[in-house]
């Protein structure tokens, strides 16, 4: 099943190039009061509501993509987790790019197990329909295409052999970053610099997320290509590792790392990302409006 948020935070099921509105399912979510629990309540309830979601989709009129503005498929993650230096080819390109690592140019980066994971601000989260807003036009903002995974249920100290049972589904992700000397999390948490979408494909539809071809292009020019099998730290280990430091909650997002070919984007560009079995999204780039 492909589940999306669209237009004014409506909920949809994607089938054959159309969206079927199932927003009525929100009436079945718990009636919560302040203080709200951590996590995304739709993701937390997804398994129990899945049959009804399918029935609502069967009865709903199809809406063509041309009439849809895709939001991030998760509305309320408690955190967005990033995985650095997770493709050897990207590690090699970073070594020779002074703008990516201005304070350590020419020096090998620490291996991923020494760097640890990092966090992006939740306020950076947008869908492809909202696009990326370049905040600092005098500095370089780069695209980094990634497979995004969405956590299904609460867990802490999750054994690696059980980790995949905590995945609700997968989405396309852009871990956008402004280059400079500041801390990585600071530069990756600019508003609109965490793009997720265009929908979430439920985990049962992806037999092997560790074997997906992917591609990113800017204005039709291919810049990044690869396969998720090339990750240094595999998906199950990422989940287990993250949960050894943080409690994971439904709707939490892990951006699983990027390969080589990262590059600058500017207002007017269109970024296209495609992952086999997950989907394709087009993300417009614009100038930040102050």
pLDDT for position 276: 98
What is each CA distance from 197 to 15, 186, 272, in whole angstroms?
Answer: 15, 22, 12
Region(s) of the chain under CATH 3.90.850.10: 80-287
For the beta carbon of residue 216, count every other beta carbon within 10 angstroms.
Answer: 27
pLDDT tens track of the chain, all 290 residues?
999 999 989 999 999 999 999 999 999 999 999 999 999 999 999 999 999 999 999 999 999 999 999 999 999 999 999 999 999 999 988 887 767 766 665 556 788 989 999 999 999 999 999 999 999 999 999 999 999 999 999 999 999 999 999 999 999 999 999 999 999 999 999 999 999 999 999 999 999 999 999 999 999 999 999 999 999 999 999 999 999 999 999 999 999 999 999 999 999 999 999 999 999 999 999 999 98
pLDDT for position 145: 98
Tens of pLDDT, residue by residue over 165-223, are 999 999 999 999 999 999 999 999 999 999 999 999 999 999 999 999 999 999 999 99
Helices (H) and strands (E) in the chain, counts: 6, 19
List of E strands, the chain: 2-6, 10-15, 18-21, 62-64, 80-82, 118-120, 125-126, 132-134, 141-143, 145-151, 167-175, 177-178, 194-202, 213-218, 221-227, 253-255, 263-264, 270-275, 279-287
| Euclidean distance between CA atoms 231 and 258, whole angstroms | 9
Can you name the CATH fold of 80-287?
A: Fumarylacetoacetate hydrolase; domain 2 (3.90.850)
Cross-strand pairs, 200 = 3
pLDDT for position 107: 58
pLDDT for position 99: 75
| Euclidean distance between CA atoms 83 and 72, whole angstroms | 19
- State pTM to two decimals: 0.96
| Euclidean distance between CA atoms 285 and 201, whole angstroms | 25
């Amino acid at each position: 099943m492909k589940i999306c948020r669209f237009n004014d935070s409506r909920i949809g099921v994607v089938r054959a190039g159309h969206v079927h509105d199932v927003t009525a399912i929100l009436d079945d979510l718990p009636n919560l009061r302040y203080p709200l629990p951590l996590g995304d309540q739709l993701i937390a309830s997804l398994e129990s509501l899945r049959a009804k979601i399918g029935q609502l989709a069967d009865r709903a009129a199809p809406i063509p993509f041309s009439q849809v503005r895709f939001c991030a498929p998760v509305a309320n993650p408690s955190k967005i987790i990033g995985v650095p230096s997770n493709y050897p080819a990207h590690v090699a390109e970073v070594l020779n790019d002074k703008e990516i690592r201005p304070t350590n140019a020419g020096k090998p980066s620490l291996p991923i197990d020494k760097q640890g994971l990092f966090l992006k601000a939740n306020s950076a989260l947008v869908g492809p329909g909202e696009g990326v807003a370049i905040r600092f036009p005098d500095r370089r903002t780069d695209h980094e295409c990634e497979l995004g995974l969405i956590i299904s249920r609460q867990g802490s100290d999750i054994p690696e052999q059980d980790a995949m049972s905590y995945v609700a589904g997968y989405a396309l992700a852009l871990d956008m970053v402004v280059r400079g000397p500041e801390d990585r999390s600071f530069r990756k948490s600019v508003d609109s610099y965490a793009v997720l979408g265009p929908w979430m494909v439920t985990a049962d539809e992806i037999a092997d997320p560790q074997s997906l071809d992917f591609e990113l292009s800017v204005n039709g020019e291919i810049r990044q290509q690869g396969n998720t099998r090339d990750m240094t730290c595999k998906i199950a280990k990422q989940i287990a590792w993250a949960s050894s430091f943080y409690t994971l909650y439904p709707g939490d997002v892990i951006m699983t790392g990027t390969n080589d070919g990262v590059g600058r984007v500017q207002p007017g560009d269109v970024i296209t990302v495609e992952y086999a079995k997950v989907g394709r999204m087009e993300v417009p780039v614009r100038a930040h409006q102050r």
